[in-house]
Amino acid sequence: MAPAPYVASRTTSTQVFKPDIFAGKVLFCTGGGSGICRAMTEAMMRHGCKSAIVGRKIDRLTKAAQELTETTGQPCIPAQADVRDPKALAQAVKTTVEKFGRIDFVICGAAGNFLAPISGLSENAFRTVMEIDTMGTYNTIKATIMHVRKAKGAYVHVSATLHHNGTPFQAHVSAAKAGVDALSAVLAVEEGPHGVRSNVIAPGPIGGTEGMDRLSVRGSDSKQRSMMVPAGRMGDVEDIANAAVFFFSDAASYITGQVLLVDGGWEHLRTMSLPYPEAVLDPESVRKYIKPRM
């Protein structure tokens, strides 16, 4: 019998970094009301950062902000805005600066996704994902750049690994995230002389998130998926949060314009989760495996 594979340990940033490394700093996070972005915000706050979380649903934001404040002891405010609306984002930035006096760090994390083949993907659906992910990132940069430049701060953009290899049913998000990667690289070059850094975190499959629930195959075995990850387990939101803390910390002061895959090595072994080529030849034949509507 083969020996049991090694399973990477789980840790929190507070076990590695000092608790006050972001004292006096302010984070502006789009998509911060839930999932990966909320976890990143919480990690930053555990190290002394004040935060504003941005999203469309004010009830969800308000609840999340209250919980984050109670959990970390640092102030967090909700700032309602759709990242597709530059005026709304400008107001969210204004609210943040009026409350905290500055913006040092920005997480561009608002995103949208679903499964659909190109042949069945409407122009409106494609445009919507591009507007949320790519245009939303651009709009967020435009709304915050002067504040981040003044603070000699940094950006972290949430991307994906889907576009690194062709991923069926993911044309829209693949194009959108490729655009996010490109924007970050240009931002790093243009704003580096002003003291601003920009990097990308590209998560692999992260368990317990809305994105994973939307994109995972119904009935798939999570234990079997974990066996296909060299690190021995599925990703956790804390893994992404740790990467964000590192990128924003002074330990990464010489790192900019990079894309960091946080996936336990999954990209090197990933295979189609749906039968190929059957799935692309007859999308209807795999509908039963897909949780949301294609």
Categorize the per-residue pLDDT at 275 as very low, low, confident or very high, splitting at 50, 70 and 90.
confident
Instruction: State the CB neighbour count (10 A cutoff) for residue 24.
Output: 12
Q: What would you measure as the largest C-alpha separation in the chain, in angstroms? A: 63
Q: Does the residue 78 lie in any domain?
A: yes
Active site residue 152: no
Q: Classify residue 11: in a domain, yes or no.
A: no
Look at 174-183, 228-237, 278-287 and tell me which has the smallest mean pLDDT: 278-287
Identify each DSSP E strand in 48-149 by its residue range. Answer: 50-55, 76-80, 105-108
Identify the active-site residue in 174, 177, 184, 249. Answer: 177
Residue 196 has pLDDT above 80, yes or no: yes
Q: Which amino acid is at 105?
A: F
Q: Which amino acid is at 138?
A: Y
* 145-195 pLDDT tens trace: 999 999 999 999 999 999 998 888 999 999 999 999 999 999 999 999 999
Which pair of structure tokens corresponds to residue 41?
A: 């915000």
Domain assignment of residue 278, given as a range:
18-289
- Residue 166, token pair as written in the block: 């062709």
Q: Which two tokens stand for residue 142?
A: 């435009």
Q: Could you tell me if residue 9 is inside a domain? A: no
Q: Active-site residue 119, yes or no?
A: no
Question: Looking at the domain assignment, is residue 32 inside a domain?
Answer: yes
Residue 110 lies in a domain: yes
CATH of the domain at 134: 3.40.50.720
Contact 162/170 with Cβ under 8 angstroms? Answer: yes
pLDDT per position as a tens digit, 57-71:
999 999 999 999 999
Domain count within the chain:
1
DSSP code for 52:
E
Residue 208's pLDDT band (cuts 50, 70, 90): low
Write out pLDDT tens, residues 3-12. Answer: 888 888 888 8
13 occurs within a structural domain = no
The secondary structure element, H or E, covering residue 201 is strand 197-203
Q: Tell me what pLDDT residue 281 has.
A: 85
Note whether residue 4 is domain-resident: no
Distance (Å, whole) CA 251 – CA 264: 21
Q: Give me the catalytic one of 159, 174, 249, 273.
A: 159
162 in a domain, yes or no? yes
